[in-house]
Chain A
């Protein structure tokens, strides 16, 4: 029997297209338009061609911020992914303690970004903060507002504190979906704990871990509020990540043209990385379906 092809179902996608057009496509088109023009306000624009792109691509400012951003994302992924897996493996599998653990793990995720920044701003202060004061009393020099290394350490620990539980919860979900038969087979084979993790748990968690890596990478790559509240991008430009630099340019200096060009390049990098992750995830899903 010949299969019926009915393309009219595509019309059902129209409402989503309209929503996406107003929330993303039209603003994006406006940003593209701005990126080729200069403005002194009052909706008056002057065509400048590729000037903003040339200026930005040849300036150290963009590359420094991109370097800091990539370094930050790399460090937090290196910490949060293994730590999240470790936490998930240590969590109880059933009973009341499992529920309590899940609730506790969810708590940091419920705190708004600016509150997280404020908590750590106070926590790290050498005069009144628990962390800062304790370190000072121990004779350890620590000042996140004046020392770039201290600022970086604080921003990283803050992010790890805020988001490791997301990785742990995703890994826990992956672990919970492994059928008991796999563990029973491993027990019969007298597999070591490491081998159980390496050959059963890790492959079975691959899908959720890819999602965790994607989510954490994208979120860390776009981080703004927490470091802005904590350090304001300082000391100097030490913690000025891409989004902080972009906001300084767009709202602080009101350079709409360069900021628009900056946004588009930022967007393209995110789009590229998302596409790579998405493709990898789809490939993994297809491989798993074939098995």
Chain B
């Protein structure tokens, strides 16, 4: 595994993503998600909304790095707000 150059922050990052996917999978088994049409006008399930949240968060982080000199945890707060918006209204 040495060739993969693991570090603690990246390991925590991937574990979080993995935990989210497993959590969503278990949630789907227990409480199956039903499709709904939100503000984007597309039909989404719970998994779709997680995907949109993660992809959007990646771009929010990149925009934060590229445009601002503020600490990165600020981007995480924006990402959390974005995810809440996506899960509630998309």
Inter-chain CB contacts under 8 Å: number:
54
Say whether A265 contacts B4, CB under 8 Å: no
B1-44 vs A, CB cutoff 8 Å, 1 = contact: the mask equals 01111110110011000000000000001000000000000110
B62 within 8 A of A: yes
Given the complex, which residues of B lie within 8 Å of A283, measured CB to CB? 42-43
Instruction: Return chain A residues, CB-CB under 8 Å to B42.
Output: 279, 283
The interface size of chain B toward A, counting residues with CB under 8 Å, comes to 21
- Return the contact of B59 from the options A26, A272, A286 (Cβ within 8 A): A272
- Whether B80 sits at the interface, judged by CB under 8 Å, is no
- The yes or no answer to A32 lying at the interface (CB within 8 A) is yes
**Who on chain A is nearest to B32 by CB?**
A5
- Let me know if A268 is at the binding interface, CB within 8 A: yes
Flag whether A43 is at the interface (Cβ < 8 A).
yes
CA A54 to CA B59, docked complex, whole Å: 14
A interface SS class: helix
Q: How far apart are the CA atoms of A43 and B10 in the complex, in Å?
A: 17
Contact, CB under 8 Å: A33 / B7: yes
Contact with B along A197-225 (1 / 0, CB 8 A): 00000000000000000000000000000
Report if A286-B43 is in contact (Cβ < 8 Å); known contacts: A30-B4, A32-B13, A43-B3.
yes
User: Which 8 residue pairs spanning A and B have beta carbons closest together?
Assistant: A57-B66, A33-B5, A45-B5, A30-B4, A53-B65, A33-B10, A279-B42, A268-B58
